[in-house]
Amino acid sequence: MAGEVNLSVHYLFPPDAEYLDYLCGQLDPGISLSTSDGESLPAETRILIAGRPKIEHLEACPDLNALIIPWAGLPDITRDLMLGYPDLSVYNLHHNAAPVAELAFTLLLTATKFIVPLDRALRANDWRPRYKPNPSMLLKEKTALILGYGAIGRRLARLCQAMDMQVLAVKRNPDSQADELVDEMYSLDALPDLLPRSHVLLICLPLTPETDGVIGAQELDALPAGAVLVNVGRGPVVDEKALYHALRDGRLAAAGLDVWYNYPDDKEERADTPPSAYPFHELDNVVLSPHRGGATMETNWLRMDGLASLLNAAAEGKIIPNKVDVAAGY
């Protein structure tokens, strides 16, 4: 019986009490959940919930067999640590898939319809843009290429399909079976053949040695004239200099960017830190968003739902979803 299972779980740096109480209310009764703000862990801990654990945390628990990162992605510091513990399984959450996909599609629509400069002009009582040639792209019957067909990519595919777009997708291990949301599925090595067909490039890739700079000047030049790029994966997946120049020179019609190349190091820097070495803010064909795709009023509740799902699966002896390939980086 699920209730007879005794599974010790420890949550390092837990969320506020209202979220923690919500999580506890969803857990299998056989799960024992303890918390701390970095102090010593119970030796009987079997599953550790932590984004950036330290070696002393892992060493304190001789029966530890799994680490759950309570967000999407694998921090470099955690990857480096966990490479030394190949017997520990690592999992993360996909709780942000819906919010990020929604923001990605918002960026796509805002960029393709040039909403920001139109809004700025009308706030100044300037109607002249209405009477100029309209650069807006019609998405109907255009082709979207989704790089990174995971939880976010699948939601984006559904949204593109609803707009009567053809959907191509790139995945690390393309499924042999058909996907009703995608017209064609490929691996990353097919990119040179896919880019010339793609009016919209939607990037959901994690940053790994394989994906770092995978979209450079050559790849951007391969896109059709007037193509639009949206990046909600990681900034350095797209070469910073190449992206700026492609937008400045008009080789890319527009872009929506939620991920960047330079971030504040502390609270003091948050008020004045440029997101790039290049002046993207001067370009009217770029929509800038401060890496908040996963942030909504509901996100923390979604995080607790995701954690409960993983922990209950473990307690019931089922396969835990969202296993991370530590060597690959995602």
**Which residue's structure tokens are 């009703």?**
180
On average, the pLDDT of the chain sits at 95
- Per-residue pLDDT reduced to its tens digit, 51-77: 999 999 999 999 999 999 999 989 999
Task: Provide the pLDDT for residue 38.
Answer: 83
Q: Is 327 exposed, middle or buried (0-12, 13-18, 19+ CB in 10 A)?
A: exposed
- Per-residue pLDDT reduced to its tens digit, 115-139: 999 999 999 999 999 999 999 999 9
Structure tokens given for 124: 């100044």
Task: Provide the pLDDT for residue 151.
Answer: 93
Q: Which of 78, 96, 22, 135 is nearest to 330 (CA)?
A: 78
Name residue 89's amino acid: S
For the beta sheet containing 7-12, the strands, ordered from the edge strand earlier in sequence to the opposite edge, are: 31-36, 7-12, 47-49, 66-68, 89-91
What is the bridge-based pairing of β-strands 143-147 and 200-203? parallel
Beta bridge mates, 180: none
Task: Provide the pLDDT for residue 4.
Answer: 57
Task: Provide the pLDDT for residue 2.
Answer: 44
Task: Provide the pLDDT for residue 177.
Answer: 57
pLDDT at 208 > cutoff 70: yes
pLDDT at 225 > cutoff 70: yes
What the chain holds in terms of domains, given with CATH numbers, is 2-95+297-315 (3.40.50.720), 97-288 (3.40.50.720)
- State the average pLDDT over residues 98-113: 98
- Per-residue pLDDT reduced to its tens digit, 135-176: 999 999 999 999 999 999 999 999 999 999 999 999 988 875
- What's the residue count for the chain? 330
Question: pTM here?
Answer: 0.93
Q: For the chain, what percent of residues have pLDDT higher than 90?
A: 93
What secondary structure letter does DSSP report for 71?
A: S
Cα(306)–Cα(151) distance, rounded to whole angstroms? 13
**Which residue's structure tokens are 């939601």?**
155
Q: Which of 221, 220, 237 is nearest to 229 (CA)?
A: 220
Structure tokens given for 153: 């990519």
Task: Provide the pLDDT for residue 329.
Answer: 86
- Per-residue pLDDT reduced to its tens digit, 186-202: 999 999 999 999 999 99
Residue pair 168/144 in contact (Cβ under 8 Å)? The answer is yes
